[in-house]
Amino acid sequence: MLKKLIQKEALRQRRVINFIPSENYVSKNVLAALGSPLTNKYAEGQAHRRYYFGNQIIDEIEDEVKKLVYKCFKVTPAKYGVNVQPYSGSIANLAAYLGALVDGDPEKLRNGASRILAMSLAHGGHLTHGHSVSWTGKLFNFRHYGVGRDGWLDYDAIAKLAKQFKPKLIVCGATAYPRKIDFKKFRRIADSVGALLMADISHIAGLVVGGAYPSPFPYADIVTTTTHKTLRGPRGAIIISKKELADKIDKTIFPGLQGGPQMHTIAAIGVCLEEALHPSFKKYVKQVVVNAKALAGELRHLGVKVISGGTDNHLLLVDVTPLGISGKTAGERLEKHGIIVNKNAIPYDIRQPWDPSGIRLGTPAVTTRGMREKDMIKIARRIRAILMTDS
């Protein structure tokens, strides 16, 4: 039964036009690593410091994946530590907070060391950037910044909030912000209040590696990312941190939050990083951005409201309420016609999260399948036509 269901899902993925920004299609080599005998091995601890024997080859694999991280992000072991063991981006973010601010002392959670400034989920941030339903929001003292009515970050307003709040850590990075983030400006803001700077680049990591988006280095003290979005890898995560923070964060991952690492996933991360170093990957990520701009431009031309007026990366937000529908209705209508998006709140949304005013669209997956600008224009016209129907 399960085999048949997997086959049905594989068929569904081939038949739809996937505009979910956080999804992509991995290569056969990534799938091969995920399905390899590495899943049989238990390897608690860091490489060369394991609690199980028989890990000589496993150590070599993890070492090689770390080398690929350094190479892809153009950083050096002299200045940065790398951890490729987090099971997910959520765990990576929690580990970064705990390692950098708490360092094994729970008492620090109850005083000023727990103050973090991050982007509001309602304006494009992530649940693990301190939302009240997330344990990050329950454990740490978060304050949030957002975007202006134009949909753009206001760095002067963020700087003013930082001076009022005096955070120990500032988080920049988003899941639904279509414009470039100025990491240099965030560094200046962090320095002005004596805070650490963390960049969550889960959505844009592939764009950064491929040179289609500014890098958070050397500005950020900590960088976290997932590997399954624009990097086209498995569902895992990476933490890159300044050397003085790396050991603390490593200990927070293990034994603090996790047990044995998933070595089949780590190897698959390595495969996707090898692929990201190929010249064709640079062409791919540049086309991802070109496609997103083409999609946003045509939707605007058709009278559809695009938040912030367009995009600089792989995603865009659309306010569908001027069409007389909600984000939930829009997503359901599009899915009936084989176009997959996700419902999403827009800045200053007056609707509820489970039925918000907008939808979020991204071009990583469709670009992997070979689509280009002309396809985006055709699909944009199709999207508008579908959204204007009554069913």
Spot the catalytic one: 41, 128, 200, 360. 200
Spot the catalytic one: 44, 59, 103, 373. 44
Spot the catalytic one: 23, 25, 42, 382. 42
> H/E element holding 344?
strand 342-344
Question: In 3-state terms, what secondary structure has residue 42?
Answer: coil
Spot the catalytic one: 50, 229, 232, 343. 229
Question: Is 226 one of the catalytic residues?
Answer: yes
Question: Is 50 one of the catalytic residues?
Answer: no
DSSP tag of 342? E
Question: In 3-state terms, what secondary structure has residue 40?
Answer: helix
> For residue 20, with 0-12 CB atoms within 10 Å meaning exposed, 13-18 middle and 19 or more buried, which class applies?
middle
φ/ψ of 149, rounded to 5, equals: -65, -20
Spot the catalytic one: 128, 175, 224, 226. 226
Question: Is 200 one of the catalytic residues?
Answer: yes
Q: Are 202 and 226 in contact (CB under 8 A)?
A: yes
Q: Are 238 and 83 in contact (CB under 8 A)?
A: yes
Question: Is 64 one of the catalytic residues?
Answer: no
Question: Is 63 one of the catalytic residues?
Answer: no
Spot the catalytic one: 235, 251, 300, 328. 235
Q: What is the DSSP string of 227-253?
A: SSSTT---S-EEEEEEHHHHHHHHHII
Distances (CA, A) of 97 to 78, 132, 160, 162, 238: 23, 16, 23, 17, 14
* 315-319 and 358-362 beta bridge pairing: antiparallel
| Catalytic machinery residues | 42, 44, 200, 226, 229, 235
